């Protein structure tokens, strides 16, 4: 099976569930604890491209930092990406990468389908 990378937060139940599914499917997984080692701007832009999303769609809008930074009315692509670089807690999780494609592993049912495609 193709190598898989996951942007993982071990404290998140959905992220742990995604890891369990990957392991059950025998995947070789590169784990990136993105809260400990924040993705670069280029990495976030690449993830957005692979996901087919804009920065706002990748953000956890219920996080306190989202409100503190007043991002609700911000739509500037670079400013939103920069906010995620500086505050990786804003990045939705888990993100699973396979080849040139990626998904957000929520709900977890989509992960196995993604692995088989």
Q: Residue 108 is part of which domain span?
A: 4-116
Can you tell me the distance from the alpha carbon of 81 to that of 44, in angstroms, rounded to the nearest whole number?
Answer: 7
- Count how many domains the chain has: 1
Which positions are annotated as active-site residues?
12
Q: Cα 7 vs. chain centroid, distance in angstroms?
A: 5
Mean of pLDDT values over 8-31:
95
What value does the mean pLDDT of the chain take?
A: 95
Mean of pLDDT values over 23-41:
94
Please write the tens of the pLDDT for every residue from 57-103: 999 999 999 999 999 999 999 999 999 999 999 999 999 999 999 99
Residue found under tokens 């769609």: 57
Find the CATH number of the domain harbouring 47. 3.40.30.10
pLDDT of residue 2: 60
Distance linking the first and last C-alpha atoms of the chain:
11
In angstroms, what CA-CA distances link 41 with 15, 16, 60, 82, 92?
A: 22, 25, 17, 7, 15
Who's near 27: CB < 8 A, 6+ residues apart?
A: 1, 3, 4, 115
Is the pLDDT at 117 greater than 80? The verdict is yes
In angstroms, what CA-CA distances link 91 with 36, 63, 100, 112?
A: 13, 10, 19, 22
Percent of the chain with pLDDT over 90: 92
Is the pLDDT at 1 greater than 60? The verdict is no
- pLDDT band, residue 3 (cuts 50/70/90): confident
User: Rounded to the nearest 10 degrees, what angle do helices 13-24 and 109-116 cross at?
Assistant: 40
């Amino acid at each position: 099976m193709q190598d898989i990378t996951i942007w993982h937060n071990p404290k998140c139940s959905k992220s742990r569930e995604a890891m369990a599914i990957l392991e059950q499917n025998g995947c070789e997984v590169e784990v990136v604890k993105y809260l400990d080692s924040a993705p670069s701007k280029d990495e976030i832009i690449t993830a957005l491209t692979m996901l087919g999303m804009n920065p706002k769609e990748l953000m956890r809008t219920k996080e306190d930092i989202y409100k503190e930074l007043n991002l609700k009315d911000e739509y500037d692509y670079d400013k939103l990406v920069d906010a995620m670089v500086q505050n990786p807690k804003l990045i939705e999780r888990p993100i699973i990468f396979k080849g040139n494609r990626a998904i957000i592993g929520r709900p977890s049912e989509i992960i196995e389908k993604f692995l088989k495609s």
